[in-house]
Structure 1
Amino acid sequence: MRILIVRIGRAGDIVMTTPALSAIINCYPDASITFLTGPDGPRLLKDYHPNLQELWIWNRSGALAYFNKRKIIKKLEQTHFDKIFCFETNRSIADIFSRYNSKIYWSDTLDNTIHCSQNYLDIVKQACPSLTGNFYAHLPVKEDAIKQVNEELSSIGISNDDTIIMLHPTFSGYSSNPFTWLFSKKYRTQTKHRLWPAASFSKLGIMLSALPLADNSKPKVIIDLIPDEAELGNKIIETSKDSITLLLTPPNFERYKALIKRANLLVTPNTGPLHIAAAVDTEIVALFSKWSPTDCGPFMRHDRYTILRAEDTPEPQLGLPSISVETVFEGCRKRLLSH
């Protein structure tokens, strides 16, 4: 049996498809699976499972968008799939697959009162009504990447026994270019709802690094950013009184997954690393504004994360800055001391 799965999006969107991917593998253990995804897909889905044998990349943006679409259509004309699971709600995308002699599972509307990952699982259940068990977000982490991260942390004085709190201060699409802020209303809206102030991260780092844990040790607080985000990282570090260690490394997704897995806790706004943390089962304190965590929060066991929302503060119109440092610290403290 050949199966095609379709989800074209950014990193977080694709991670939120992995519960459905795991369910399909569970339901059809002998199937050969192809995943049609966007440019972020390969780094997320590479080596996911032996049954996931092909990744087709469809870049829908840029000057070559039309030609990229034609390439996908040509591939579809040359390949027969017994079943197609389309997790895109855009009818124009779904209609592409209706031209072929395949059984298609798709919905043009998702229930916003439940998580989108659950919506995808419900689509899978149309084909596998007897499907049982819990399927959460999942990404495999390679042993050599874990070893690399442990060696990297050891070189800066962080041992395997230390409790690590990882702070993620940026979001997908973040830019330090002032012209982006000046000329893009969409970006200004994103910043309001997805960027917690640098000063708040600095203060949080100071408070967390002084928190006594159950074994009388204190957490190690780190921030890991790519070089393009160094300006924001340095701004946080400058006022953190040496309480935060900043790691600036070129993009390496295998390392990044392993680093998040090594962390005991991730503090992050609603963005890709939140979903990566859920997929490697790292505990999370997630900051939300405007977007609903019911629909796009971590898809993992409920006892593994804490959601803090601007809508629950006295001034929700301020976006993420309305969430106080003290509130985030208390959320972290409760998670760390609950073990």
Structure 2
Amino acid sequence: MTLFKSAPKSLCVLRLSAIGDVCNTIAVIQSIQQQWPETKITWVTGKIEAQLLKSISGIEVIVFDKSLGWNAYTHLWKQLNGHRFDALLHMQYAIRSSIATLGIKARYKLGFDKVRSQDFQTLFTNIKVPSPKSMHVLDGLRAFATKLGIKDTTPQWNLQYLQSDLDWANNYLQTGKRNLVVVPAASKDYKNWTVPGYAKVIEHAARSGWNILLAGSPANNEIELAKRLEDTLSIAVTNLVGKSSLLQLLALLDRTDLVIAPDTGPTHMANAMNTPVIGLYAHHNPERTGPYQFREYVVSVYAEAIQKETNRSLDELSWRSRVKDKDAMQQIATDDVITMFDKITHDFNLTTAKN
């Protein structure tokens, strides 16, 4: 049974992090906006994620600054003073998110059901959203919209950026050539693939006439990995790691032809911009966390790694089981990534230069 027969006056979305999950959530919120454009939507999110939300319209964004410690909650609740929502979409089961709900006034507080919830989230909600059969994170989030009364939750994204962001990207993208953006690093080092592996794939692409760009955040581990990769390569690449804003990166990922990245935010940003992406996975099941539209192009050793670690098959394990071996990404074979590069370039007709 759905909660609303007609558009509610106001909704609050609580999704604090991370970039990839926020990208998935955006598709859900935009499906709500599509059916109920008159509904006022307030989104509580983190500082970095708020930069990405500048790419969508019609939403009030309120920042939860976790660096403030416990004061982050009182600051948030002061900002929401006077707000009373028809429904709160508690779309992140982390305990810090659940604590934030204590100061958010809403008639309905929707959260994951016992299949998907963790960290006692069910204690902070009065509506349990039924889990779909699909394990993917986005499908679990889509169920919130269905519970509200949204008829079509087919994932679609409409993210915008400024002309100045596009101008920045165009400074580095080459016309007349195919452009490949490689995001070498994730926020957690154990999710990163190997420098020699990246180097061989990049050199393979370069031999096919591609322009190669490295991209990523200004985090020290990402800058250092990109520098090591650049020093290893026998060809020149454009290293933009740490040199872009989030929306400049969004423009770059939108206008490039192809992206290669591990399980990290830009993987899902590319997915949201309909840019083909090869995701590199070992620690999480890509059927749960992979780039939604391009899961068939993921190169994954997750199944092999989890079976080796647990001596159990996927069917015997929880759908959210994680590989703990910090060296699991090293099991991804370079030849498999090159093969996938050739397959995706063929499937998307990227084998010839641009006109």
TM band (smaller chain): 0.7 to 0.9
SS where residue 233 of structure 2 aligns?
coil
Q: Show the counterpart of 1:2.
A: 10
Query: In the alignment, is the contact (CA less than 8 A) between 1:313 and 1:322 conserved in 2?
Result: no
Q: Per-residue deviation at 1:273?
A: 0.8
SS where residue 37 of structure 2 aligns?
coil
Query: In the alignment, is the contact (CA less than 8 A) between 1:17 and 1:137 conserved in 2?
Result: no
Task: Choose which of 63, 66, 69 in structure 1 pairs with 2:70.
Answer: 66
Task: Choose which of 90, 100, 104 in structure 1 pairs with 2:105.
Answer: 100
Query: In the alignment, is the contact (CA less than 8 A) between 1:9 and 1:37 conserved in 2?
Result: yes
Structure 2 unmatched ranges of 5 or more? 1-8, 117-130, 310-324, 350-355
Q: Show the counterpart of 1:209.
A: 206
Q: Per-residue deviation at 1:113?
A: 4.5
Distance 1:59 1:101 in 2: 22
Q: Show the counterpart of 1:219.
A: 210
1:172 and 2:187 correspond: yes
Q: Show the counterpart of 2:298.
A: 307
Q: Per-residue deviation at 1:5?
A: 0.9
1:135 and 2:143 correspond: no
Q: Per-residue deviation at 1:296?
A: 1.2
Distance 2:230 2:35 in 1: 48
- Specify whether residues 19 and 47 from structure 1 end up closer, same or farther in structure 2 by C-alpha distance, changes over 3 A only: closer
Structure 1 unmatched ranges of 5 or more? 174-190, 212-217
1:336 and 2:345 correspond: yes
Task: Choose which of 19, 43, 48 in structure 2 pairs with 1:40.
Answer: 48
Task: Choose which of 257, 267, 288 in structure 2 pairs with 1:274.
Answer: 267
1:327 and 2:336 correspond: yes
Task: Choose which of 175, 195, 219 in structure 2 pairs with 1:160.
Answer: 175
Q: Which moved more, 1:160-169 or 1:268-277?
A: 160-169
Aligned residue identity for 1:103 = Y
1:80 and 2:90 correspond: no
TM-score, with length taken from structure 2: 0.77
Task: Choose which of 132, 139, 144 in structure 2 pairs with 1:123.
Answer: 144
Distance 1:133 1:126 in 2: 11
Q: Per-residue deviation at 1:197?
A: 0.9
With a CA cutoff of 8 Å and minimum separation of 6, indicate the structure with the bigger relative contact order: 1
Query: In the alignment, is the contact (CA less than 8 A) between 1:27 and 1:128 conserved in 2?
Result: no
Q: Per-residue deviation at 1:101?
A: 4.7
Aligned residue identity for 1:327 = D
CA deviations over 1:229-272 (Å, ceiling 9, x no partner): 44322221222111533235534122111111121111110011
Q: Show the counterpart of 2:316.
A: none
- Specify whether residues 47 and 235 from structure 1 end up closer, same or farther in structure 2 by C-alpha distance, changes over 3 A only: closer
Q: Which moved more, 1:13-22 or 1:101-110?
A: 101-110
The percentage of aligned residue pairs carrying the same residue is: 17
Q: Per-residue deviation at 1:46?
A: 1.2
Query: In the alignment, is the contact (CA less than 8 A) between 1:288 and 1:320 conserved in 2?
Result: yes
Q: Per-residue deviation at 1:120?
A: 1.1
Task: Choose which of 240, 244, 257 in structure 2 pairs with 1:247.
Answer: 240
Q: CA RMSD in A?
A: 2.6
Distance 1:27 1:124 in 2: 10
